[in-house]
Amino acid sequence: FYASVAQAEEPVLMNRPVGVLTTDAPNAACIAASHEAKQCGVGMGTRQDEARQLCPGIVFRAVKHDVCVRYHHAILAAVETVVPVHRVWSIDECSCLLTGSEQDLDRALDIGRALQAAVLDQVHPALRCSVGLGPTRLLAKIAAGLEKPGGLRWLLPEVLPDKIAHLPLDKVPGISRRMKDRLEHAGIMDISALYRLDPKRARAIWGNVAGERLLRELRGETVVWPETRRGMI
């Protein structure tokens, strides 16, 4: 998102590798990389010297938080012209609830395409958002990550777990590197094994009910998560 904003602000950077830095300082780390830079192996945490080796010709820009917030609000406004925003999760992620006939897959895909077009037309062509469709937020989020940028993918129980069996465990939102190690220690080596896991055992591995909730969402079941209070700078 930060790299796309940098490209939108400087159209000359479109289709060029861009790294966005925490600060304009020697060998600062990247907090984001454009799609072109990612293809060369540049990612979050890559320092300037390493990024230059991986991707000759990469351009660096320091993050401008106020500009990114402005684009964030513009994107939300564009989304609202197609479907109401249900919840904002971060500066580059929101979720929308589809109801009634909108839940038909063909209709949902049409809505996803219209949403992407609205962002491109009303915000900037550099903002190629990915859209994921699913019966749960977890599946929709995983689907959105299957193709970036500009992807439109869906996940329903009838294609699971095969459709995501190739992903490493820590690509599932909610599974950190430490939790991945814990799962592997328990003999859960891949997503297919996680999908088959007994919910009570998931509770035991996580040490709380969050494991069962994640597993049920992964299977497409409706799960009610308790409201949490969050602060964000």
Measured torsion, CA atoms of residues 192, 196, 200, 202, in degrees rounded to the nearest 10: 0
| CA–CA–CA angle 178, 182, 186 (5° rounding) | 165
Residue with tokens 């909730």: 213
Nearest to 78 by CA among 131, 113, 112, 116: 116
Q: Which residues are catalytic?
A: 93
Q: How many residues does the chain have?
A: 233
